[in-house]
């Protein structure tokens, strides 16, 4: 026999044995059904939320367009509401989505928080976990794999068949690899219906139409395939090293509890301790302090704006601002908005850096805990991680800044300084403002921040491959 055919025979034998075990079949069917159910429910949930946000986004847009003649600065206080759509693959992995704000009010002078996260409406049940395909694949399928694999070697040993195999000249690594393949094949069968449905929906939603969506799909598929293969290898290796199948099962379950339940929370809370983020009040106070220092247009004695005034008067060679050929009040607002937006960007950037430092514990923890690796990679590819949320905040701020400055520009040129407040510009002007539309970051940008997760999965893969080649299982119980 060629080595390959031995491998395949062992794998096939493993599958056949699993298929004969009734409680195994029930468990696998349960997980398969769960994956299907999670996929369907999550997608419905996503469709509902997106429809809701879309409706309100359109309402906000048409309200904007229907504004009567108004003073431009009125319009910039009337402002705009930006809603954060869930990403197309957001239903696959909810990531941080439900804990991030969904709408932000955009107005002149200030940056508001993103409000109304799903978690704030849930009364606490959300904290137990959210039913998504990712949850099933990350937590439940590995458990089923451990169930499938705990007896792979230990069972043969207890049945006395292991030494028979070896006596026939089959090599250790062939047994281990064959068993791993067998468990992996069973896993494939188990997740096939759900995967197929996910694939169809992804393709139906244009998953192959754009390179970006295609690569996200491919990346998720590859990532999970590797993760689940790792789980299969771990199960077989533990089964090989432990004395009894009972010991193997206990160890595997312990692995699962530590890696999938305890370590993730512990890592993140450690991160939050290591890089403490400021409270909202502190953050605001720091913003205000910088604003006072760099130029507060609401302070009549502010040096920055005093010199702006002097320079402008000198430049146009006039003595009073009302002699200027444009509306000086608007010039002040243009300048003030530039300053305050710059300060906000700096502070918000620092805050995001703090968040990233907090998350670093989970990112590097992935080298120890492959669950964290797939978790991070999965939500990045699904477009539901912190980076995607931050991108929404940046785009909302950029949209706000452009909207307000465009209105200030109108104010500058089309509203006279005299009797400023009583004037209005025509409502036709509102048409020239674009609607807010979130452009998600590209898959390349998403992956750029995930090299730790990818490296962790590869290191684990390599380590386990070496182990499968090297490990000498116990022969006797």
Partner 1 sequence: MNPTRLLQLEIKNFLAGRAVVAGLVVIFLAGLYAVEHGRRTIAAQRQALAAMPQLQREHLDKTLALHAAPDPANAIYYLNFFTAHEPSRYAPLSIGLRDVNPFNLKIRLLTLEGQLYDGDISNPATLSLGNFDLAFLLVFLYPLLLIAFTHNALSTEQELGTWNLICSQPVSPRAVLARKAAIRFGAVAGVWLLTLAAAALRLGLAPDRRLGFLTFVSLAYLFFWFAVSWFVISFRRSSNFNALTLLGVWLALAILVPAALNVALATWLPVPEAMAVTVDQREGYHRQWDRPKAETMTRFFQRYPEYASFQAPPDKFSWGWYYAAQHLGDEEAASASAEFRAKLEQRQQWMRRFSWLTPTINAQAAFNQIAQTDLPNHLAYLDSVRSFHERLRRVFYPFLMRNDAPPPFPWDRLPAHRFQDESLPATFPLSALSLLALSAALLLLARRRTV
| Residues within window 233-252 making contact with partner 1, judged by CB under 8 A | 245-246, 249-250
Write down the least CB distance from residue 291 to partner 1, Å: 11
Q: How far is the CB of 234 from partner 1 (least distance, A)?
A: 17
293 binds partner 1 (CB under 8 A): no
> Of 283, 316, 364, 394, which one interacts with partner 1 (CB under 8 A)?
283
Out of 416, 421, 470, 472, name the contact with partner 1 by CB under 8 A.
421
Contacts of 220 (CB under 8 A, 6+ apart): 89, 92, 378, 381, 382
Q: In terms of CB distance, is 110 or 171 closer to partner 1?
A: 110
CB within 8 A of 449, min separation 6: which ones?
A: 380, 387
Q: For residue 27, give both structure tokens.
A: 């468990």
Give the footprint of partner 1 on residues 139-198 (CB under 8 A). 139-140, 143, 147, 150
Judged by CB under 8 A, does residue 276 bind partner 1?
Answer: yes
One residue of 2, 4, 5, 23 binding partner 1 per CB under 8 A: 23
Site for partner 1 in 368-387 (CB under 8 A): 385-386
**Phi, psi torsion values for 106, nearest 5 degrees:** -110, 120
54 binds partner 1 (CB under 8 A): no
Does residue 110 bind partner 1 (CB under 8 A)?
Answer: no
Q: What is the smallest separation between the CB atom of 477 and partner 1, expressed in angstroms?
A: 13
285 binds partner 1 (CB under 8 A): yes
DSSP assignment of 229-255, as one string? Answer: HHHHHHHHHHHHHSSSHHHHHHHHHHH
- Residue 335 interacts with partner 1 (CB under 8 A)? no
Q: 29, 208, 273, 462: which one contacts partner 1 (CB under 8 A)?
A: 273
Contact between 77 and partner 1 per CB under 8 A:
yes
Q: How many residues bind partner 1, per CB under 8 A?
A: 98
* Residue span binding partner 1 (CB under 8 A) among the ranges 5-13, 78-86, 169-177, 198-206: 78-86
Residue 390 token pair: 């931050």
Stretch that binds partner 1, among 76-84, 179-187, 324-332, 403-411 (CB under 8 A): 76-84
Residue among 170 and 395 whose Cβ is closer to partner 1: 395
281 binds partner 1 (CB under 8 A): yes
Q: Which is nearer to partner 1, 49 or 162 (CB)?
A: 49
CA–CA separation, 324 and 13 (whole Å): 90
DSSP string, 179-200: HHHHHHHHHHHHHHHHHHHHHH
Does residue 340 belong to the site contacting partner 1 (CB under 8 A)?
no
Task: Please list every residue from 386 through 405 that binds partner 1, using CB under 8 A.
Answer: 386, 389
Q: Minimum Å distance from CB 462 to partner 1? A: 28
**Smallest Cα–Cα separation from 422: which of 67, 71, 60?**
71
- Which of 124, 169 has the CB closer to partner 1? 124
Is residue 128 within 8 Å of residue 98, measured between CB atoms?
no
Tell me if residue 83 falls in helix, strand or coil: strand
Conformation bin of residue 129: beta by default, left when phi > 0, alpha when psi is -120 to 50: left
Asked if 40 is part of the footprint of partner 1 (rule: CB under 8 A), the reply reads: no
Pick from 239, 359, 378, 395: which binds partner 1 (CB under 8 A)? Answer: 359
Task: Give per-residue burial for 201-229: e unless 16+ CB within 10 Å, then b.
Answer: bbeeeebeeeebbbbbbebbeebbebbbb
> Of 87, 117, 378, 408, which lies in the binding site for partner 1, with binding defined by CB under 8 A?
117
Asked if 25 interacts with partner 1 (CB under 8 A), we say no
Q: Is 41 in the site for partner 1 (CB under 8 A)?
A: yes
The beta strand positions in 310-389, using DSSP E, are: none
């Amino acid at each position: 026999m060629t080595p390959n055919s031995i491998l395949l025979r062992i794998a096939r034998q493993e599958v056949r044995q699993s298929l004969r075990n009734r409680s195994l079949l029930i468990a696998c069917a349960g997980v398969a059904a769960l994956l299907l159910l999670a996929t369907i429910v999550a997608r419905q949930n996503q469709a509902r939320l997106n429809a809701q946000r879309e409706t309100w986004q359109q309402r906000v847009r048409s309200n904007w367009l229907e504004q009567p003649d108004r003073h431009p600065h009125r319009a910039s206080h009337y402002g705009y509401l930006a809603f954060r759509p869930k990403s197309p693959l957001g239903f696959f992995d909810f990531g941080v989505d439900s804990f991030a704000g969904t709408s932000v009010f955009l107005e002149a002078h200030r940056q508001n928080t993103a409000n109304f996260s799903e978690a704030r409406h849930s009364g606490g049940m959300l904290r137990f976990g959210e039913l998504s395909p990712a949850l099933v694949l990350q937590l439940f399928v590995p458990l089923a794999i451990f169930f499938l694999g705990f007896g792979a070697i230990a069972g043969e040993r207890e049945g006395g068949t292991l030494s028979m195999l070896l006596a026939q000249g089959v090599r250790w690594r062939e047994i281990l690899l064959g068993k791993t393949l067998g468990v992996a094949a069973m896993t494939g069968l188990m997740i096939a219906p759900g995967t197929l449905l996910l694939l169809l929906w992804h393709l139906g939603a244009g998953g192959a139409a754009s390179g970006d969506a295609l690569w996200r799909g491919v990346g998720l598929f590859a990532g999970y395939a590797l993760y689940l293969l790792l789980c299969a290898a771990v199960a077989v290796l533990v089964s090989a090293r432990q004395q009894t199948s009972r010991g193997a099962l206990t160890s595997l379950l312990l692995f699962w509890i530590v890696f999938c339940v305890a370590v993730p929370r512990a890592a993140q809370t450690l991160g939050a301790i290591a890089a403490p983020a400021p409270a909202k009040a502190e953050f605001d106070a720091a913003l205000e302090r910088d604003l006072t220092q760099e130029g507060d247009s609401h302070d009549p004695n502010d040096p920055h704006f005093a010199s702006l005034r002097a320079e402008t008067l000198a430049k146009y060679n006039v003595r009073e601002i009302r002699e200027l050929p444009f509306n000086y009040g608007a010039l002040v607002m243009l300048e003030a908005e530039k300053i305050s937006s710059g300060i906000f960007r700096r502070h918000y950037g620092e805050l995001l850096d703090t968040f990233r430092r907090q998350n670093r514990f989970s990112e590097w923890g992935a080298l120890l805990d492959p669950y964290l690796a797939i978790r991070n990679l999965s939500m990045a590819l699904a477009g539901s991680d912190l980076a995607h949320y931050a991108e929404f905040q940046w785009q909302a701020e950029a949209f706000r800044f452009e909207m307000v400055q465009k209105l200030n520009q109108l104010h500058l040129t089309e509203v006279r300084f005299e009797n400023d407040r009583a004037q209005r510009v025509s409502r036709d002007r509102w048409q020239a403002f674009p609607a807010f539309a979130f452009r998600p970051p590209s898959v390349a940008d998403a992956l750029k921040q995930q090299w730790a997760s990818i490296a962790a999965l590869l290191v684990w893969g390599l380590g386990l491959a070496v182990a499968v080649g090297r490990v000498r299982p116990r022969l006797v119980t």
